[in-house]
Amino acid sequence: MRTVETSGKTVEEATQKALEDLGVSAEHALVEIITESSPGLFGIIGSKQARVRVTEKMSPEHYLSEFLQTVITHMGIAGQVEPVVTDENLRFNINGQRMGMLIGKRGQTLNALQYLLNVAYHKKFPGEGHRVILDVEDYREKREQTLRNLAINLANKAIHFRKEVVLEPMNPQERRIIHTTLQDNASVGTYSQGEEPYRKVVIAPK
Amino acid sequence: MKDLVEFIAKALVDQPEQVSVERLEDNYAITLELRVAPEDMGKVIGKQGRIAKAIRTVVNAAAVNEKKRVLVDIVQ
C-alpha cells in the first residue's frame, strides 16, 4: 500500500493534497494526523502547519476493477467491468462491444489478461489467496459446455476404437473440466501428459 | 498502445517510476521498447517468458486497430 505525508494550513488541506498525490478518493484512504495545526499569535508567531499521513486503502476487487477498466480502455474497447466476489474467487465479467477482440482465438487473449490480472493481484496483495477469474459475456460458461460435450464424444470414440485419444493442449482450468466430466465414467480414465503450456489430456479406455 | 504496455508494466514491477516505453516505427512494424529497472526484468518477463508472452498477446489483440504489426521488446 502506498503512503504519503503532507503538510498544509489545516488538516483538511493537507489531507486533500495527499489524496491528490495518491490519486484516490477519501473513502479509499486512511488518514492519520501527525500534528494538528495551530494558528499561533497573529497567524505568524508560533503557528504550526498540520501534518498528515495518508495511506491508500483499496480492496482487491476495486483495485483489479480499475486495472481492468484502464487496460481495456487502452486497448480501444468500450466495456463495463463488473466484479463478483465469492469466498475463493474474485471474478470479473466484462460486457460491451467488440468482445471477440478481448477473447481471442480459443480464449488466448482472455487467458493472457487473466494471467496478468493474477500477477498484478499477487504483487499488490501478497499473501491473499483468491483466484482471479476473468470472463467476457459468459464465454467461459459456454466454453465449459463445449469442453464437456467434447469430453463425452471423445470418450465414446476411445471406447469404440479401444485406443487412447489425445486432446489439444489446454490450460489447467480447461483440463480440469475434461477430467471432472469423465471421472464418473467407468469405461475410461484420464490423465495429462507433456509440459506447460502444451500439457494435454489423454482419454484412455479401461 | 504505448500507454497500454506502460500501464501493465507499472502494475507488475517494484519500481514503477523506472518504467519507460519508447515507440519506434518503420515501414513494416511498430516496435515498443519496454525498459524497467534491472532488478525488475524478471517481473516483466516471468518464468519461461510467461508474463512477456501474456503482455504481447494483449498488445497483439489491441493491435488490430493498427495497420502494422506491433512488437514488444524488453530491452536493458
Min Cα–Cα distance to chain B from A50, Å: 28
Q: Residue B12: enclosing H or E segment and its boundaries?
A: helix B2-12
Query: Residue A8 belongs to what H/E stretch?
Result: strand A3-8
Tell me which residues of chain A, numbers 134 to 193, contact chain B at a CB-CB cutoff of 8 Å. none
B54 interfacial to chain A (CB closer than 8 Å): yes
Q: How many domains does chain B have?
A: 1
- pTM equals 0.74
Which residues of chain B have a CB within 8 Å of the CB of A104?
Answer: 57, 61
> How far A115 CA sits from the closest chain B CA (Å)?
7
| Mean pLDDT within B13-34 | 93
Sheet of A165-166: strands edge to edge? A165-166, A200-205, A188-193
- CATH fold of A60-137, please? GMP Synthetase; Chain A, domain 3 (3.30.300)
Q: Which of A42-56, A104-118, B36-50 has the lowest mean pLDDT?
A: A42-56
Q: What are the residue ranges spanned by the domains of chain A? A: 3-56, 60-137, 142-205
Q: Is B23 on the interface with A (CB under 8 A)?
A: no
**Which of the residues B13, B17, B19, B58 would you substitute to probe the A interface, choosing the one with the greatest number of A C-beta atoms within 10 Å?**
B58
- Whether residues B54 and A116 touch (CB distance < 8 A) is answered with yes
Q: Residue B11 phi/psi, 5° resolution? A: -75, -15
ipTM exceeding the 0.90 mark: yes
First to last CA, chain B: 20
Question: Could you tell me if B47 lies within 8 Å of chain A, comparing CB atoms?
Answer: no
For the CA atoms of B24, B29, B30, B32, the dihedral, rounded to the nearest 10 degrees, stands at -80
- pLDDT, one tens digit per residue, over A45-97 is 677 888 999 888 778 888 899 999 999 999 999 999 999 888 788 999 999 98
The strand order across the sheet containing B20-25 reads: B20-25, B29-35, B69-75
Pick the CATH number of A3-56 from 3.40.50, 3.30.30, 3.30.70, 3.30.43: 3.30.30
- CATH code, A142-205: 3.30.1370.50
**Residue B47, domain extent:** 2-75
The CATH number of the domain holding residue B51 is 3.30.300.20
Contacts for A203 with CB less than 8 Å, ≥ 6 apart: A151, A154, A155, A158, A164, A165, A167, A178, A182, A188, A189, A190
Q: What one-letter code names the amino acid at A115?
A: Y
Distance from CA of A197 to the nearest CA of B (A): 9
Cell of A105: 482465438
> What are A148-197's pLDDT values in tens digits?
999 999 999 999 999 999 999 998 889 999 999 999 999 999 999 999 87
Tell which wins on pLDDT, B66 or B39.
B39
Average pLDDT of chain A? 89
